[in-house]
């Protein structure tokens, strides 16, 4: 399959560029293709293996879309933006409307707030096909800014009328969705998007080599923070308390794994504060290997849906220190497989890290508990739940529900 170039808004889509009706066709839509690559490839592959022609739509990303095309998916570029009021979103809506008039889809599976709204709005007048929306964390949640409730809540209530099935991935969203006007029986609670068993296990020599390459000494206890570098991920909470953690536990060593718009500010904060043993690694495609040289995982976000990074850490038998927010509360049981710490409670945060850094046995016990507690979130379990929703949405079309899993990649 080849990638379809985005035509100008006022142009008709040439018939030669878009195939007419196929027997079975499904499209996955997100703001960016990378989201689909990182989180939904196993499901796209399963549907493709079942004979469906699978499409993907998102903002133009040559690298990510090229990967999808090589894997046999058709990509349709839309100029969608994460910013709700960006005028590009009008054009994205027009392009989606035009696409749905020219091409028939049996199923549309939408992700990410803006892309999902535009897609449902564009598809609302179509008589054939069903729409599934996976909410990876509503932007309106307990403790959310008032502007989020003012903007996203009424819009999602409206969009519920154009949603055949809603998939929620945390308990708070599931309970709230019950009161938002979705059709009775259309709301599903599935525990995340699935986490794979690590593909590669490093031996002791390989771990030693990797640690050495990062400047990590034998004495160090490694804390990994795997997240995009943006304000929501709240790296500053940990960095603001890092000196105190180091004073209490000199052996602490922090790896910040990820890339994003806040990198410059974080680098400046680390430099101005003369913070020791903090390394920004940027984007890495070997996160599973890095987790194997990690002792403690941390994520202190302001908002989460159900973070895959924490699920992967638990699969690696790592205790986690997380913030007290939706999604993280779903994954961590305080005192059993990690610690949940409220925001703006520096002393509690320092104490939680000190407890785990100084106690090897506590880390080991919590690590074993983490692996046990993550079982319901494993790909082999979650993919069955997703396929059952697909079967229902496709009017009982038979799909293979075997538990063979496909790697989704790691971000």
Are residues 180 and 215 located together in one domain of the fold?
Answer: no
Residue 296 lies in a domain: yes
pLDDT tens, position by position, 166-209: 999 999 999 999 999 999 999 999 999 999 887 789 999 999 99
Residue 350 lies in a domain: yes
Are residues 324 and 344 located together in one domain of the fold?
Answer: yes
Q: Is the pLDDT of residue 152 over 60?
A: yes
CATH number of the structural domain spanning residue 272: 3.40.50.2000
Residue 407 lies in a domain: no
Name the domain count of the chain.
2
Residue 408 lies in a domain: no
- Provide the edge-to-edge strand list for the sheet that holds 296-299: 278-282, 252-257, 221-226, 296-299, 320-323, 338-341
Average pLDDT over residues 151-172: 96
Q: Is the pLDDT of residue 397 over 80?
A: no
Q: Are the beta carbons of 293 and 268 closer than 8 angstroms? A: no
Helix boundaries (H) for 103-198: 113-123, 146-159, 171-177
Q: Is the pLDDT of residue 17 over 50?
A: no
Are residues 208 and 189 located together in one domain of the fold?
Answer: no
pLDDT tens, position by position, 220-240: 999 999 999 999 999 999 999
Name the nearest CA neighbour of 24 among 104, 90, 80. 104
Residue 398 lies in a domain: no
Structural domain of 297: 204-375
Phi, psi of 125 (to 5 degrees): -90, 0
SS3 225: strand
Q: What pLDDT, on a 0 to 100 scale, did the predictor assign at position 222?
A: 98
Are residues 191 and 229 located together in one domain of the fold?
Answer: no
Are residues 23 and 164 located together in one domain of the fold?
Answer: yes
Residue 45 lies in a domain: yes
Residue 93 lies in a domain: yes
Are residues 169 and 259 located together in one domain of the fold?
Answer: no
Terminal alpha carbon distance of the chain: 25
Sign of the four-CA dihedral 151, 39, 41, 195: negative
Q: Is the pLDDT of residue 303 over 90?
A: yes
pLDDT tens, position by position, 35-72: 999 899 999 999 999 999 999 999 998 899 999 999 99
Are residues 174 and 266 located together in one domain of the fold?
Answer: no
Name the nearest CA neighbour of 63 among 115, 3, 8. 3
pLDDT tens, position by position, 353-365: 999 999 999 999 9
Tell me the CA distances in angstroms from 357 to 326, 348, 368, one per residue in order: 26, 14, 16
Q: What pLDDT, on a 0 to 100 scale, did the predictor assign at position 399?
A: 60
Q: What pLDDT, on a 0 to 100 scale, did the predictor assign at position 349?
A: 98
| DSSP β-bridge partners for residue 74 | 55
pLDDT band at 408 (very low <50, low <70, confident <90, very high): very low
Are residues 387 and 364 located together in one domain of the fold?
Answer: no
Are residues 74 and 185 located together in one domain of the fold?
Answer: yes
What average pLDDT does the structure give for the chain?
A: 90
Q: What pLDDT, on a 0 to 100 scale, did the predictor assign at position 23?
A: 64
Q: Is the pLDDT of residue 370 over 60?
A: yes
Tell me the CA distances in angstroms from 250 to 2, 85, 277, 294, 358, one per residue in order: 54, 47, 9, 16, 10
Better-scored residue on pLDDT, 201 or 23: 201
How would you label 346-358 residue by residue, b for 16+ Cβ within 10 Å and e otherwise? eeebbebbbbbbe
Are residues 177 and 244 located together in one domain of the fold?
Answer: no
SS3 403: coil
CA angle 111, 331, 170 (to 5 degrees): 40
pLDDT tens, position by position, 275-287: 999 999 999 989 9
pLDDT band at 102 (very low <50, low <70, confident <90, very high): very high
Are residues 61 and 42 located together in one domain of the fold?
Answer: yes
Q: Residue 88: which H helix or E strand, with range?
A: helix 88-102
Are residues 301 and 288 located together in one domain of the fold?
Answer: yes
Residue 8 lies in a domain: no
pTM of the model: 0.83
Q: What pLDDT, on a 0 to 100 scale, did the predictor assign at position 361?
A: 97
Residue-by-residue DSSP string for 294-346: -SEEEE--S--S--HHHHHHHHTT--EEEESSTTHHHH--BTTTEEEE-TT-H
Q: Are the beta carbons of 356 and 318 closer than 8 angstroms? A: no
């Amino acid at each position: 399959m080849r990638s379809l170039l985005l035509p100008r808004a006022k142009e008709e889509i040439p018939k030669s560029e878009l195939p007419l009706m196929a027997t079975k066709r499904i499209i996955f839509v997100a703001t960016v293709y990378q989201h689909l690559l990182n989180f939904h490839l196993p499901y796209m592959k399963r549907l493709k293996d079942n004979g469906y022609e699978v499409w993907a739509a998102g903002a133009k990303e040559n690298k990510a879309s090229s990967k999808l095309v090589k894997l046999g998916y058709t990509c349709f570029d839309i100029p969608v933006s994460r910013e709700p009021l960006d005028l590009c979103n009008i054009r994205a809506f027009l392009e989606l409307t035009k696409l749905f008039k020219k091409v028939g889809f049996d199923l549309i599976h939408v992700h990410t707030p803006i892309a999902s709204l535009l897609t449902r709005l564009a598809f609302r007048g179509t008589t054939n096909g069903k729409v599934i929306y996976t909410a990876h964390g509503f932007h309106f949640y307990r403790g959310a800014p008032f502007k989020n409730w003012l903007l996203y809540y009424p819009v999602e209530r409206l969009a519920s009328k154009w949603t055949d099935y809603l998939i929620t991935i945390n308990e708070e969203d599931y309970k709230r969705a019950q009161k938002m006007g979705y059709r009775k029986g259309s709301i599903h609670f599935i525990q995340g998007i699935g986490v794979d068993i690590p593909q590669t296990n490093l031996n002791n020599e390989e771990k030693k080599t990797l640690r050495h390459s990062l400047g990590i000494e034998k004495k160090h206890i490694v804390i990994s923070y795997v997240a995009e570098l943006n304000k929501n991920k709240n790296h500053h909470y940990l960095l603001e308390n890092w000196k105190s953690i180091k004073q209490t536990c000199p052996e602490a060593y922090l790896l910040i794994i990820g890339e994003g718009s806040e990198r410059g500010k974080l680098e400046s904060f680390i430099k101005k504060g003369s913070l020791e043993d903090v390394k920004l690694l940027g984007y890495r495609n070997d996160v599973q290997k890095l987790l194997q040289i990690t002792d403690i995982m941390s994520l202190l976000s302001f908002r989460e849906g159900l973070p895959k990074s924490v699920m992967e850490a638990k699969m690696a038998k790592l205790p986690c220190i997380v913030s007290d927010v939706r999604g993280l509360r779903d994954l961590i049981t305080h005192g059993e497989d990690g610690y949940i710490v409220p925001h703006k409670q520096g002393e509690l945060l320092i104490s939680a890290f000190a407890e785990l850094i100084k106690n090897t046995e506590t880390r080991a016990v919590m690590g074993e508990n983490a692996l046990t507690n993550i079982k319901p979130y494993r790909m082999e379990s979650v993919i069955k739940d997703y396929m059952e929703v697909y079967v229902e949405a496709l009017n009982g079309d038979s799909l293979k529900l075997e538990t063979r899993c496909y790697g989704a990649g790691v971000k």
